[in-house]
Amino acid sequence: MAAPAKKSGADTVRGEVLKSAKAENVKFIRLMFSDINGTPKNVELPVERLEEVLESGVQFDASSIAGFAEIQESDMILKPDASTWAVLPWTSGSGRAARLICDVYLPDGRRYDGDPRYVLQRQIKKASEMGYNFFTGPECEFFLFKLDANGNPTNTPHDRAAYFDVGVQDFGEEVRKETILYLEQMGFNIEAGHHEVAPGQHEIDFNYGDGLVSADRILTLKWVTKVVAQQHGLHASFMAKPIFGVNGSGMHVHQSLWKGNQNAFYDEKGRFQLSGTAYNYMAGLLTNVPAMTAVLNSTVNSYKRLVPGYEAPCYIAWANKNRSALIRIPAARGKGTRLELRCPDPAGNPYLQTAVMLAAGLDGVKNKLTPPEPVEQDIYHMTPQERKKNGVGSLPGSLREALDLANDSKLVREVLGEHIFEQFNTVKTKEWDSFRLRVHPHELDMYLAKI
């Protein structure tokens, strides 16, 4: 009698998912993916279809998804990544639901080039082929705003608290705590949550982890935060600069490369205890960041955050402690050695953002690029002449400028792939034109009565 066939790792994970669905009395499955803007999308199915979907996926119409297929080629397949299974803690009873993040396939079995998650997976594979594992730790900032009488979002903050204030001033503490509890129940390891600098502004950080897992978690965190805020009669916004005159919301991304169990950025004998790989990776980011800013800061509004005076970096430099620099090297060494890229914001697509960061860093490693000297003084207070003397450049000042630089970048085009590159440029050019051609209230305030 032949021995029973051994189960593969994928079969084991699928079995665990089916057991969890039964134990948790799940009734519905949400198959989640992302459009080109980073907006979560999902198809909801009854749990009776779970086993079938885990095996074969489910067909969907992609023609109305931003950045996806045209109507004549709209049929796509969602195939769940079973490792992303998570029961949604705020659902119960007959509405108990779970989430699976999916990869997008063509009907003939090939991966779909327009799937943002696939863009990141391709870059992670390239890192692996170079012998590296890629890890990130994003810090996601957001605002909690009041609703108007009709239930529509305003940009009136929920509180007037400041950085690290406690519950007496921090009215959003319960929303933040509940969000963290939900995320932990979904498998997150939360590192910290606190009130940020601006009124109504908050931050939630999760533990350092695999680059793809972190991008999945950014997508999930933004969704869960909005759900919890809505339950409290508020609106959570990840818009980069929703209020004039106060700090905007960033998404600083800590990142490093590893070889096996060794942090490839650490060298006990290196300058600042950084390895040559760390310097090469940093140089890759600094060299390519003007062209990839369109992806890291992908809305018209993003560039109203990237201005001097509000703790957001707009100058291209690196430093050890100086938070006015684009890249900061946190003090931790050994396994904690990493760099922090401070320009991304949470309004974009986390898969595309993570992919271009990794690709830029790998470009530096592959070509052994060398960064300039660190700039430890406050760059915001430098004169243009001092910045020029120190070799400090500037990030693009608008989405239009950023798109022009991206269009001239071989790296950005190769990372995104031809389909997403063209779709992204089309979508974002329309966004820019919509802003450029519109008459805004500030223009009326400035000119209508005076001219």
Identify the CATH number of the domain in which residue 26 sits. 3.10.20.70
Q: Which domain holds residue 362?
A: 121-445
pLDDT(240) > 90:
yes
Q: Residue 297: which of 364, 229, 239 has the closest Cα?
A: 239
In a domain, 451, yes or no: no
Asked if 129 is an active-site residue, the reply is no
> The whole model's pTM is what?
0.94
Question: Which of 14, 30, 35, 141 is flagged as catalytic?
Answer: 141
Confidence grade of residue 4 (pLDDT, cut at 50, 70, 90):
very low
- Catalytic residue, chosen from 55, 61, 174, 373, is 61
**Known catalytic membership, residue 340:** yes
Residues 64 and 143 in one domain: no
Determine which one of 115, 340, 345, 363 is catalytic.
340
Q: Which one from 111, 194, 232, 323 is the annotated catalytic residue?
A: 323
pLDDT for residue 70: 62
- Torsion, Cα 185 189 194 197, to 10 degrees, reads -120
Average pLDDT over residues 376-403: 91
Within a 13 Å sphere around the CA of 286, how many CA atoms are in the beta-carbon half?
26
Q: Please, where are the H alpha helices in 186-318?
A: 211-231, 276-296
Query: From the candidates 178, 203, 216, 363, which is the catalytic residue?
Result: 203
Q: For position 217, what pLDDT does the model report?
A: 96
139 catalytic per annotation: yes
Does 229 share its domain with 349? Answer: yes
The number of domains in the chain is 2
- Catalytic, out of 115, 139, 159, 345: 139
Residue 11 included in any domain: no
**How far is Cα 435 from Cα 391, in angstroms, rounded to an integer?**
33
Q: Known catalytic residue: 141?
A: yes
- 414 classed as catalytic: no
Helices of type H across 322-370: 350-366
Same domain, 145 and 94: no
Residues 26 and 126 in one domain: no
Q: What is the Cα–Cα distance from 322 to 376, expressed in whole angstroms?
A: 5
Whether 323 is catalytic is yes
The catalytic position among 252, 254, 328, 338 is 252
Residues 52 and 137 in one domain: no
Average pLDDT over residues 189-213: 91
Q: How confident is the model at residue 3 (pLDDT cuts 50, 70, 90)?
A: very low
Judge if 260 and 350 occupy the same domain. Answer: yes
Q: Which of 115, 196, 267, 345 is catalytic?
A: 196
Which among 183, 53, 42, 167 is positioned nearest to 99, based on CA atoms? 42
